[in-house]
Amino acid sequence: MRVLAAMSGGVDSAVAAARAVDAGHEVTGVHLALSRSPASDRVGARGCCTLEDARDARRAADRLGIPFYVWDLAERFEADVIDEFVASYAAGRTPNPCVRCNERIKFAAVLDRALALGFDAVVTGHHARLDPDGTLRRSVDPGKDQSYVLGTLRSAQLAAARFPLGDSTKAQVRAEASARGLAVADKPDSHDICFIADGDTGGWLRDRLGSRPGPIRDAQTGATLGEHDGTFAFTVGQRRGLRLGQPAPDGRPRYVLDISPATSTVTVGPAEALDVRRLVAERTVWPHEGVLTCQAQVRAHGGVVPAQAQGRGDELVVTLGAPVRGTAPGQAVILYDGDRVLGGGHIRTTAS
Amino acid sequence: MIDGSTWNSAARLPCFPVTYLDHAATTPMRPEALAVYTAVLADTGNASSLHASGRRARRVVEEAREALAAQLGARPSDVVFTAGGTEGDNLALKGLYWARRAVDPARRRILVSAVEHRAVLDTVDWLGAAQGAQVELLDVDEIGLVHPSTLEAAIARDPASVAVVSVMWANSEVGTVQPVARLAAVAHRYGVPFHTDAVQAFGQIPVAIGADGPDAITVSAHKVGGPVGVGALIARRGLVLEPHTHGGGQERDVRSGTLNTAGVAAFAAAATTACAQAPVEAGRLAALRDDLVRRVCEQVPTAVLNGPPLDTAGGVGEPGDAGGARRLPGNAHLSFPGCEGDSLLMLLDARGIECSTGSACSAGVARPSHVLLAMGATEQQARGSLRFSLGHTSRAADVDALVAAIGPVAERAGRAGALAGTYGG
C-alpha cells in the first residue's frame, strides 16, 4: 500500500510511521503546518505547531528513509478549528479542539487530499485500535487511550485510517523509538491546546473576544456575588478562579452551573446542581437501531458511566445510569461497549 | 551520522535516476571546480599569514580574484569575496544605505523592485523597521519587468532623499531579465548608486559592472557550478560601503573573516567555464527550455507560462532590451490551474523529477510566490505554479522524462485541488 504518515514531530507518530515502513508499505511522511507564523522553539510540553517539531518530524523521516513534506493547513485549521473554538466559547460552550481537528483536518482535509493524490491510507500515532471490520477500540494503554478524540469519525474516514500503536503502551512506544534510534524517544508528551502557546486559555480568548464584563449570580438566591471579565473564561463545573467575596450561606464550595453569553451572566451553585443524568448530542455518528445499553465518556481523560443511548433523527439521546458532574455543551460524548467504540456526538443540551 | 563510512551508503542513493530540473536552486559542481576545490582544501595556509604557506594561499585567492573580475568587467580590487549571495545583498544594501545616510541624513529612501529575492526584501524591510529607511517597492508589469520610467518617477518624486536603488539582474522565479543598463542609467542621472542581485543571471547571460552599468553586483558560486558558501560583491572603486560585520577587515576593510581559499578558487574556476560556455550554452538551454514548455503545454493544455514569452533567439544582444533575451535561457515557470504547487512537486518527486514551487518558508511550507503576486496573479494562480530550471548537466532526456510524467501528475493534483473547500463542510 501507499500510505501517508502524518508526522507531528512527536514520538508516537514517528513510531507509527516506522511500523508502517516495517509492514512493507510505501510510506511518505507529511508534517502538518497548522500555525500561520509558527514559533521557532518548543516550550515545555505544549503544542505541535513549531519549527522545532517540523524539524523533529523531518529527522525521524530521514532516519526511516522515507520522503518527507510539509503541508500547509494553517488556513483550514484556523477556519475549521480555531475560529470554531472561539465561536463555541463565545456561545457558552466548551469545545474539544482535538476532536474537531480529527474530524475536519486530519481525517478530512488531509485524508481526502492523500486519497486524491493516490495514497491508500493515512497513518497516525493515535493510541487506539482499529479492527479489520472498521471497529474502533480503546488502546491497550488506558492512560494513553485516544479513542475518545476519534470517536466521532465516520466509517468512511476510519476506513482509510491506520493506527499502528493501539496494541502498545506508551512505555513500549518510547522504548521502541529508542531502540530504533529516533531522537524523539524522550520528547515530552504534548498536552493542552496546541494553538494556545502559554496554556492560558482565558487570556487567549480575551485577546480575541475582548472584555465582556457581567455578573456572577447565585442560582438559588439570584443574588449578584461578583463580576467577571467575560463568560469565555468559565467552564461549566469550574470551581477555581471565581473569586467570590462572600461564602455561600451553607459554607460549601460553589461551582459554575451555567454560562449565558447573551446576558454575559455566569451562574454558580452547589456541586449537586452540576449533576447531569441526561444529554442530547448533535452531529452524531450512530449506526445503531433502538436503545443500546452501553457506557458513556464525556471528556478526554474521564471515566465512563453506565448509559442507555438511542438515536432520534440526527440526534442522540443519552440517559446516564449515574450522574456525571460538570458536563458542558460542546464537549463530545462517546459511547462504548467495553473497549469498543459504538459512536457518539457533540453535546447540545444537558439535564439533571 | 556524517562520516566517510556511511555518507555514500546505498540507503542514501535514489533507486532511480533523478531528473534534476532545479538548477536555479543550485547546480551541480563543475568537474574543474570540484578538482580545484578539493586540491586547495588539501593544502594548509591562511591567506593573511605572512609565511610561505600564507603566501601560497594568498596567491590562490588573488588569482581567483583576477579571474572572477575578468568575467565581470571589473578590476580585481572591485571584488569583495563573501560567503554567498545573501551576504552580498546585505553588504550592498546596508553598506550603501548607512554610508549614504552618514554623509547626508536626508538620504533615507531605498528603492527596490517588488520581485526581489528575500535576501534583498528582508534586508530592506529590516532597514525600514530598525534603521529609519523608507522602503519603496517598484512595481513590475505582468511579465515581471521594472520599467525605467517607473524608476525614474520614483526617484524624481524627491531625488535628494534616495540612498540606493536595487533591481535584480534576472528574476529567480520567472527568469525575467531586467533592463539593467537603462535602470542604472536612470539612477546615475540622479547621482544615486545602483546595485543588482545577479545571482541568477551570472554565468548564463552577460553580466558586467562599469560606467554604464551597476555600481555593485552580487554573485554566488553555487549557481554557476561552484561550491555553496562562497560569493562576491563586485563594488566599483570609490563606492563607499559601511561594513555590517566586523573583524579583521580582510576584504577591502568592508568584509571580515578568514578568506575561503578553496572556495574562491573553485568559484573562479566555475565562473570561468560558465562564462566561456554561456554564448553557446544559452542557445542550447533555450532550445531545450522551449521544447519543455511546448511539450508540457501539449500534455496539460490548461498550463500557462508565467513571465516573459519564449525567446528562442537565446541570450544575445543587450539583456532586457529589444532583441536581447528577456528571459533566462534555462527558466520555465508554469502555472497549472486547479492544482496546488506542492501536490505537483510531491507527485513529480515520487517519480524522480525534481523542481521547485518557487518559495518556501523556513518550515518547508510552499508559499504563494510574491513574485507572481506582484505580477498581478491571484493567490490561487501563485500557489499552483512550478519552476523548472535547466543547467549545464541538462539533456533532452530530462525534458522527455518530465513530459512523460506531467500529464498524469497534473490530472491527479487537479483531483486533489478540486477538493479544496469541499471537505469538512
- Per-residue pLDDT tens digits for A313-340: 999 999 999 999 888 899 999 999 999 9
Please say if the pLDDT value at position A41 is more than 50. no
For residue A177, give the nearest of A69, A71, A59 by alpha carbon.
A59
Interchain CB distance below 8 Å, B349 and A67: yes
Q: Which are the contacts of A237, defined by CB distance < 8 A and separation ≥ 6?
A: A255, A256, A274, A325, A326, A327, A328
**What CATH number has the domain spanning A2-186?**
3.40.50.620
Contact A149, A123 (CB under 8 A): no
- Chain A: give the shortest CA distance to residue B230, in Å: 26
Q: Which are the contacts of B177, defined by CB distance < 8 A and separation ≥ 6?
A: B169, B170, B171, B201, B205, B308, B319, B320, B324, B325, B326, B327, B328
For an interface test with B, give the residue of A7, A70, A110 to mutate (most B CBs within 10 A). A70
Q: Which helix (H) or strand (E) holds B386?
A: strand B385-389
DSSP reduced 3-state for A46:
strand
Q: Which of B363, B366, B418 sits opposite A38 (nearest CB)?
A: B363
Strands A255-260 and A265-269, bridge-based pairing: antiparallel
How many other C-beta atoms are found inside a 10 Å radius of the C-beta of residue B290?
17
- Chain B: give the shortest CA distance to residue A207, in Å: 25
- Per-residue pLDDT tens digits for A58-72: 999 999 999 999 998
Report chain A residues whose CB lies below 8 A from the CB of B408.
none
CA distance B194 to B111: 10
For residue A6, give the nearest of A68, A64, A51 by alpha carbon.
A68
CA triple A98-A104-A105, angle to 5 deg: 80
For residue B162, give the nearest of B199, B95, B111, B203 by alpha carbon.
B111
Phi first, then psi: give them for residue B248, nearest 5 degrees: -80, -5
ipTM for the predicted complex comes to: 0.85
Interchain CB distance below 8 Å, A69 and B364: yes
Q: What is the CA radius of gyration of chain A?
A: 21
Q: What is the pLDDT of residue B381?
A: 86
Instruction: Assign a CATH topology to domain B31-270.
Output: Aspartate Aminotransferase; domain 2 (3.40.640)
Identify the sign of the CA torsion B252, B258, B262, B263: negative
Closest residue in B to A74 (Cα) is B365
Which residue ranges does chain A devote to CATH 2.40.30.10?
A: 274-351
Overall average pLDDT of the A31-35 stretch: 87
Q: What is the interface size between A and B, counted as CB pairs within 8 Å?
A: 61
Contact B359, B372 (CB under 8 A): no
Interchain CB distance below 8 Å, A113 and B419: yes
CA distance B377 to B379: 7
**What CATH number has the domain spanning B278-417?**
3.90.1150.10
CA distance B416 to B425: 16
Report chain A residues whose CB lies below 8 A from the CB of B342.
69, 71-72
Closest residue in B to A4 (Cα) is B346
Catalytic residue among A48, A49, A98, A101: A101
Percentage of chain A modeled with pLDDT above 70 = 95
Contact B168, B115 (CB under 8 A): yes
Query: Chain B within 8 Å of A117 (Cβ-Cβ)?
Result: yes
Cell of B339: 492544482
Q: Which are the contacts of B378, defined by CB distance < 8 A and separation ≥ 6?
A: none
CA distance A245 to A268: 13
Contact A340, A135 (CB under 8 A): yes
Which residue ranges does chain B devote to CATH 3.40.640.10?
A: 31-270
CA distance B192 to B103: 13
Report chain B residues whose CB lies below 8 A from the CB of A47.
none
Active site residue A49: no
Report chain B residues whose CB lies below 8 A from the CB of A70.
363-365
**pLDDT 10s per residue in chain B (425 long)?**
455 544 444 444 445 579 999 999 999 999 999 999 999 999 999 999 999 999 999 999 999 999 999 999 999 999 999 999 999 999 999 999 999 999 999 999 999 999 999 999 999 999 999 999 999 999 999 999 999 999 999 999 999 999 999 999 999 999 999 999 999 999 999 999 999 999 999 999 999 998 789 999 999 999 999 999 999 999 999 999 999 999 999 999 999 999 999 999 999 999 999 999 999 999 999 999 999 999 999 999 999 999 999 864 444 444 444 445 689 999 999 999 999 998 999 999 999 999 998 766 665 676 778 999 999 999 888 889 999 999 999 999 999 999 999 999 999 999 998 886 444 33
Interchain CB distance below 8 Å, B424 and A76: yes
Query: Chain A within 8 Å of B362 (Cβ-Cβ)?
Result: yes
Q: What is the pLDDT of residue A194?
A: 83
Query: Chain A within 8 Å of B129 (Cβ-Cβ)?
Result: no
Contact B251, B296 (CB under 8 A): no
Q: What is the pLDDT of residue B10?
A: 43
For an interface test with B, give the residue of A71, A83, A84 to mutate (most B CBs within 10 A). A71
Overall average pLDDT of the A330-351 stretch: 95
Which residue ranges does chain B devote to CATH 3.90.1150.10?
A: 278-417
For A303-325, letters b (16+ CB in 10 Å) and e give ebbebbbebeeebbebebeeebe
- Chain B: give the shortest CA distance to residue A32, in Å: 9
Interchain CB distance below 8 Å, A105 and B424: yes
Strands A68-72 and A26-33, bridge-based pairing: parallel
Task: Give the start-end residues of each E strand in B289-330.
Answer: 304-305
> Which class for A146: exposed (0-12), middle (13-18), buried (19 or more C-beta within 10 A)?
buried
Contact A329, A259 (CB under 8 A): no
Contact B112, B124 (CB under 8 A): yes
End-to-end CA distance of chain A: 50
Q: Which helix (H) or strand (E) holds A315?
A: strand A315-325
Catalytic residue among A48, A49, A98, A194: A194
Strands B385-389 and B353-354, bridge-based pairing: unpaired
Q: What is the pLDDT of residue B311?
A: 61
Interchain CB distance below 8 Å, A117 and B343: yes
Interchain CB distance below 8 Å, A108 and B415: no
Question: Would you say domain A211-269 falls under CATH 3.30.1910?
Answer: no
Overall average pLDDT of the A266-283 stretch: 92
Q: For chain B, how many residues are written?
A: 425
Interchain CB distance below 8 Å, B342 and A72: yes
For residue A205, give the nearest of A176, A231, A179 by alpha carbon.
A231
Q: Which helix (H) or strand (E) holds A121?
A: strand A121-123
Q: What is the pLDDT of residue A326?
A: 80
Q: What is the pLDDT of residue B198?
A: 98
CA distance B344 to B365: 14
In DSSP terms, B387 is beta-bridged to B333, B356
Architecture of domain A274-351: Beta Barrel (2.40)
Interchain CB distance below 8 Å, A117 and B347: yes
- Chain A: give the shortest CA distance to residue B128, in Å: 21
Q: Which helix (H) or strand (E) holds B293?
A: helix B261-299
Q: What is the pLDDT of residue B263?
A: 98
Q: Which of B364, B413, B416 sits opposite A70 (nearest CB)?
A: B364
Query: Chain A within 8 Å of B423 (Cβ-Cβ)?
Result: yes
How many other C-beta atoms are found inside a 10 Å radius of the C-beta of residue A79?
12
Interchain CB distance below 8 Å, A54 and B415: no
Q: Which of A70, A113, A117 sits opposite B363 (nearest CB)?
A: A70
Contact B292, B386 (CB under 8 A): no
Torsion-angle region of residue B314: left (phi > 0), alpha (psi -120 to 50) or beta? left
pTM for the full predicted model: 0.89
- Chain B: give the shortest CA distance to residue A148, in Å: 19
- Chain B: give the shortest CA distance to residue A151, in Å: 16
pLDDT, averaged across chain A? 90
Interchain CB distance below 8 Å, B363 and A54: yes
Query: Chain A within 8 Å of B416 (Cβ-Cβ)?
Result: yes
CA triple B267-B272-B274, angle to 5 deg: 90
Closest residue in B to A116 (Cα) is B416
Interchain CB distance below 8 Å, B347 and A118: yes
For residue A106, give the nearest of A71, A62, A69 by alpha carbon.
A71
Query: Chain B within 8 Å of A67 (Cβ-Cβ)?
Result: yes
Please say if the pLDDT value at position A40 is more than 70. no
Pick A205 or B63 by higher pLDDT: B63
How many other C-beta atoms are found inside a 10 Å radius of the C-beta of residue B323?
10
